[in-house]
Amino acid sequence: MLTLYNCLTSAAYALLYPWLARKYAEGFDERKGIFAERKRLDNAIWIHAVSVGEVQAALPFMSEVKKHSLPGINILLSTTTMTGAKIAKQLSANFDEHIFYPFDIKRFIARSLDCIKPRAFVTVETEIWPMMLNQLKERGIPSFLINGRISDKSYKRMSRIPSFWKTVFSDFSRIMVREVQDEQRLESLGVPGNIISVTGDCKIDALLERKNQCAALQSIERSKPIFIAGSTHPGEEEQVIAAFRILREKITGAKLIIVPRHPERAGEVGSLTARIGRTVYYSKFSNFDFLKDENTWEFLIVDKIGALFCLYSIAEGAFIGGSLVPKGGQNIMEPALFGTPFCHGKYMSDFSHVSDQFKRLGISKVIATAEEIADFWVQSMDADFKRQAGRLYENWFIENSGAAVKNWNLISKYI
């Protein structure tokens, strides 16, 4: 089966080569397993995180590696997307080198491992590449999955050919998943239970580590209530703008920050808000000056990567994007970390384990219309409601942190 997989990926590479060469022009040699001499680290723990969220989830684990690893062990971080690479560049103090992840074709994987010769390989969340795992096992290099999750969509796809996925997952030395459901799904595919451990969600530790980065923004005095729509997709901005128009009739001076999931859509979103209110763009300001001159805007459109996290800390209430349209939802733990009440639509499959817990606690709300968003934002202004939500969020983080330490304790036995 793996031979067929390699034939298919090789054929796809040949067929799509012109498109791949354009799309992945930056780092294209590295994606073929060709690395500059300085990136050929000896004795490295290779950590792969496909994009922004996975890089951030990997940070606490990298901290544990730096804290506890043997002298001479380096950390090599790979990403697939350009946004992942940009975030990695901002966080470069946490690892020794960055590379772009190679295409999962045998000759490229073999060339990569010949160059890098890692001490161990760690992949984050859902980045399961069969040829890489096979080649690591053949070379006797231990491989690990941390923060593993098997979504509804992935599980349905894997269940069609369970024997293949049993073989793929069994190539891991250890698999560390977020919750019991992930463990059960892997075992139903035939993956040996003795290599699977439930260690929790690394993103919780990552958020706790990042929280202090927002102190400067939080310290700025503001007199107008701010609401935020985070990581929105097409079809959602119209709803949150409509909700805000309702909100303004009830809360004088309210402001709305919209953060499109893809920053290149900022102009498109800004054209919607400019029709009904003063609109500015985040990149036009420095040092959070948009808070120092609140009277110049009603809508702030964020057109830069990495700003959303801290912006949640100054909001009275939030809407989480990717949830009114079937995109799986976005990270609801970010507003929760700051005690910011939030609502979201019904599509939260990527964060179902957390959204279900928050719903049971009564500190988040599933909405379907602009009117419901507006009503929730009004409720989030209630001091008692916000105090209670903040207390419950804080307790939840205390109870659910510590995944990075658990992951390192398991992996360190193989290093």
- pLDDT attached to residue 123: 97
- pLDDT attached to residue 101: 97
- pLDDT attached to residue 126: 86
> With pLDDT > 70 as the criterion, what percentage of the chain qualifies?
100
Distance CA 182, CA 228 (A): 32
All structural domains of the chain with their residue ranges: 26-209+402-414, 213-394
Tell me the per-residue pLDDT of 59-85, one tens digit each, with 9 for 90 and over: 999 999 988 867 788 999 999 999 899
Whether the CB-CB separation of 109 and 135 falls below 8 Å is answered with yes
Asked if pLDDT for residue 52 goes beyond 90, the answer is no
Distance CA 224, CA 295 (A): 9
Whether the CB-CB separation of 84 and 125 falls below 8 Å is answered with no
Asked if pLDDT for residue 93 goes beyond 90, the answer is no
- The winner for highest mean pLDDT among 37-46, 232-241, 284-293 is 232-241
Looking at per-residue pLDDT, the higher value among 213 and 172 belongs to 172
- pLDDT attached to residue 50: 92
Whether the CB-CB separation of 298 and 279 falls below 8 Å is answered with yes
* Type of residue at 305: I
- pLDDT attached to residue 241: 98
Tell me the per-residue pLDDT of 293-303, one tens digit each, with 9 for 90 and over: 888 899 999 99
- pTM to 2 decimals? 0.81
> With pLDDT > 90 as the criterion, what percentage of the chain qualifies?
78
* Type of residue at 235: G
- pLDDT attached to residue 134: 96
Fold of 26-209+402-414: Rossmann fold (3.40.50)
- pLDDT attached to residue 96: 93
Q: How many helices (H) and strands (E) does the chain have?
A: 20, 14
DSSP assignment letter at 277: S
pLDDT range class, residue 152, cuts 50, 70, 90: confident
CATH architecture of 213-394: 3-Layer(aba) Sandwich (3.40)
For the segment 28-51, the average pLDDT, to the nearest whole number, is: 93
- pLDDT attached to residue 224: 92
Tell me the per-residue pLDDT of 383-405, one tens digit each, with 9 for 90 and over: 999 999 999 999 999 999 999 99
For the segment 321-347, the average pLDDT, to the nearest whole number, is: 95
